[in-house]
Amino acid sequence: MTKPESGLPWGLMKESCAVAERSSQPERANLENLEILTFTGLDYQTDFQTVWELWSRYPRVEFGVLVGGRSGQSDARRYPAEGEIKWWRGLTRKSEISVAIHLCGRFARAALGDGDTDEVLRLCRGFSRVQINAREYEAGRVAAFAEAVDVPKVILQKRQPFEADWVLPDPKVEYLFDLSGGQGLESLEHWLAPDAREIRSGYAGGLNQANVDQALEFVASHPQRRFWLDMESGVRTANDWLDIGQVAAVCEKVFPEN
């Protein structure tokens, strides 16, 4: 498959970074416990070369590709066709860029045993992490999928604040707290750090360039915990394409030392 020449050219992206560098920024310690910064929603117009150069400059960045959305949805552009997903998977294998696959709809249900699980296992192979976006999880089915899938980490998207009683005793399973369900609703006031288990926790919900400092303050206030942040709606254009210029600006703000 031939990828179209699209997305923000690297030269323009560097110019965006340079503008951010010239702006005044408060002094902030390097947040080593922020292990991953995810930008979810690679799409048909995303330029691979720009993604690769961004990842090369900011190695803690991860990109996410969504699968399982319905074509009639208003945000359908963030759900590329299966051929595009395989294209990104192939580039992930060759380039070692961190790309996670996010399972929605029938793919999420199949991962949990309600559908063709083998199809999902094949689709996930080669990605850095796999996220299951479902409203309910049965511990036994999650454990079975985590054992079967050839991916280092499995993420469960949770749409409720942290509760210790549903944390699975499996170091391969991580948790993304997203009360918005990818719809861009701000929910920072609901963030709570897991205080009883050594698990890496992700947070999402309305994150963007304007409010990411609040998220960084939250991460900094829990230095003994391990985090990642995930942005989706906050880094998209009005036409719902991934805005690589916004991605670059957020990276510069979060990782000014790079």
Q: What is the CA radius of gyration of the chain?
A: 17
Enumerate the domain spans of the chain: 10-22+30-254
CA neighbor of 114 nearest in space, from 154, 94, 144: 144
Rounded-to-integer distance, Cα 144 and Cα 158, Å: 19
State the DSSP string of 28-81: ----TTEEEEEEE---TT--HHHHHHHHHH-TTEEEEEEE---TTSTTGGGS--
Rounded to two decimals, what is the model's pTM?
A: 0.84
- Average confidence score pLDDT of the chain: 82
- For residue 144, the tally of other CB atoms under 10 A from its CB is 15
Strand, helix or coil for residue 242: strand
Is the dihedral angle over the CA atoms 16, 18, 24, 29 positive or is it negative? positive
pLDDT 10s digits, 198-226: 678 898 888 999 999 988 988 888 888 88
pLDDT 10s digits, 50-73: 999 999 999 999 999 999 976 445
For 10-22+30-254, CATH gives 3.20.20.70
Helix 10-22 to helix 244-254 angle (10° resolution) is: 40
Rounded-to-integer distance, Cα 89 and Cα 83, Å: 10
Would the pLDDT of 15 be above 50? no
pLDDT band at 173 (very low <50, low <70, confident <90, very high): very high
